[in-house]
């Protein structure tokens, strides 16, 4: 697990990309024992005018200005205990931001930043915080509904890295974060999934939603081609 940042520190990252109405995403890089690791932040504007930040990353000032223009950061979703790295510095930058994390991650997240909620209290008709069944409430997601369809924002439960090379690429493939198809990382299946049937049922429920348009994952490329089929394949790996 990477060290918690205590001061605003901008690590290598790309540019924010608008993937739907009032929905931005960006990837950055951190160094982990497995090597260079991509990570993703997603920002959604809320009906009330603020925005929700899922898995925060410190960006340079022009990109932070784009987020603030979309909507003042109102909610910070720390999707699991393993994604606390930038939570402290985001709370320091935006003192009024409220922190949401799944109940199973509350203790570890609260050790670094105050937690305001562990359930969906966003109060938005188009954006919903979800705790994943079968993970002992350690993993969460966002459902973002727009007129064009639903974007499902997942955290670590699905890996989809395609550009992994060299020794670090080999290790990422071995861990299940990288490969030809989206998959449940092996190390997380062993350490995170307590009830495979419950998790598989949730993945299939999302797959059965006709509004599903794309999936964003914290580590890897967006899944825009047959997202329902990809979810069903991950669910089948749990059977």
Look up the CATH number of the domain holding residue 112: 3.60.15.10
Listed range (72-81, 167-176, 201-210) with the worst mean pLDDT: 167-176
Contact (Cβ atoms closer than 8 angstroms) between residue 219 and residue 80: no
Tens digits of residue pLDDT in 198-224: 999 999 999 999 999 999 999 889 999
d(CA 219, CA 82): 12
What per-residue confidence (pLDDT) applies to 34?
A: 56
What per-residue confidence (pLDDT) applies to 163?
A: 63
Domain span at 106: 17-236
> Is 11 part of a structural domain of the chain?
no
> Is 12 part of a structural domain of the chain?
no
Binned at pLDDT 50, 70 and 90, residue 106 comes out as: very high
What per-residue confidence (pLDDT) applies to 99?
A: 98
Closest C-alpha to 74, from 5, 20, 152, 127: 127
d(CA 220, CA 120): 26
Tens digits of residue pLDDT in 130-149: 999 999 999 999 999 999 99
Binned at pLDDT 50, 70 and 90, residue 3 comes out as: confident
Residues in the chain: 239
> Is 136 part of a structural domain of the chain?
yes
For the entire predicted model, the pTM comes to: 0.92
**180 pLDDT higher than 80:** no
Q: What is the mean pLDDT of the chain?
A: 91
Looking at the structure of the chain, the number of domains it has is: 1
In the predicted model, what is the mean pLDDT of residues 10-15?
Answer: 95
> Is 99 part of a structural domain of the chain?
yes
> Is 3 part of a structural domain of the chain?
no
Share of the chain above pLDDT 70, in %: 90
d(CA 157, CA 219): 10
Task: Give start and end residues of each alpha helix (H) in the chain.
Answer: 61-70, 87-93, 106-110, 166-175, 186-191, 196-207, 227-236
C-alpha distances in Å from residue 148, one per residue of 23, 125, 153, 212: 12, 15, 16, 9
- Strand stretches in 68-177, DSSP E: 73-77, 98-100, 127-131, 140-146, 149-153
Contact (Cβ atoms closer than 8 angstroms) between residue 73 and residue 82: no
> Is 102 part of a structural domain of the chain?
yes
Listed range (39-48, 123-132, 158-167) with the worst mean pLDDT: 158-167
**What is the token pair recorded at 74?**
């109102």
> Is 173 part of a structural domain of the chain?
yes
> Is 4 part of a structural domain of the chain?
no
């Amino acid at each position: 697990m990477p060290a918690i940042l205590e001061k605003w520190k901008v690590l290598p990252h790309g540019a924010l990309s608008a993937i739907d109405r009032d929905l931005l995403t960006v990837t950055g890089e951190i160094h982990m024992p497995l090597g260079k690791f991509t990570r993703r932040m997603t920002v959604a504007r809320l009906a009330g005018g603020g925005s929700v930040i899922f898995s925060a990353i410190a960006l340079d000032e022009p990109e932070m200005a784009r987020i603030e223009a979309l909507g003042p950061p109102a909610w910070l979703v720390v999707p699991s205990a393993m994604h606390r790295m930038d939570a402290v510095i985001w709370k320091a930058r935006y003192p009024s931001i409220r922190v949401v994390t799944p109940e199973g991650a509350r203790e570890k997240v609260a050790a670094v930043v105050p937690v305001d909620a562990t359930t969906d209290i966003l109060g938005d008709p188009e954006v919903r915080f979800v705790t994943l069944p079968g993970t002992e409430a350690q993993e969460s997601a966002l459902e973002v509904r727009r007129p064009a369809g639903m974007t499902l924002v997942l955290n670590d439960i699905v890996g989809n890295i395609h550009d992994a090379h060299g020794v670090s690429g080999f290790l990422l493939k071995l861990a299940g974060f990288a490969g030809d198809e989206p998959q449940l990382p092996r190390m997380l299946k062993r350490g995170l999934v307590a009830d495979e049937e419950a998790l598989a049922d949730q993945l299939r429920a999302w797959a059965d939603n006709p509004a599903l348009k794309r999936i964003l994952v914290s580590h890897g490329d967006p899944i825009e081609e047959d997202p329902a089929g990809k979810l069903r394949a991950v669910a089948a790996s749990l059977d």
